[in-house]
Amino acid sequence: MAYDDFPECVKDEQDFIDLLVSMIRRLPPGLQHRVAEFTRELIRTDTPRKTRYLSLDWAGGLRDLREKYASTDLERMASEWRTEDFS
């Protein structure tokens, strides 16, 4: 709910903050703690995370093994490795 939806006494952002503070002060200490935890969680989940892009600096790193293994060999070996884990 935006602070525009609050009563007429809320004229600007500072009035909105003052209203929230007065409401929180009327709560018992345990509920005040919950409000603080909830606010921290809102900030944590609403803060956009820095976009990280995949690095492709590994591309071509196995080029020297190209002649030694064919893709079908690698598929077979990977299949064997997976079934060994279940043995």
Residue 33: inside a domain: yes
| Chain segment 19-46, per-residue pLDDT in tens | 899 999 999 999 999 999 999 998 888 7
How many angstroms separate the first and last alpha carbons of the chain?
57
Closest by CA position to 14, among listed 24, 23, 3, 5: 3
Residues in the chain: 87
Q: Which tokens sit at 66?
A: 């190209």
pLDDT value for 49: 76
The residue ranking higher by pLDDT, 24 or 3, is: 24
pTM attached to this predicted model = 0.44
Tally of structural domains, the chain = 1
* Domain housing 13: 8-46
Residue 3: inside a domain: no
Residue 41: inside a domain: yes
**What distance separates the 2 farthest-apart alpha carbons in the chain?**
78
- DSSP strand E in the chain: where? none
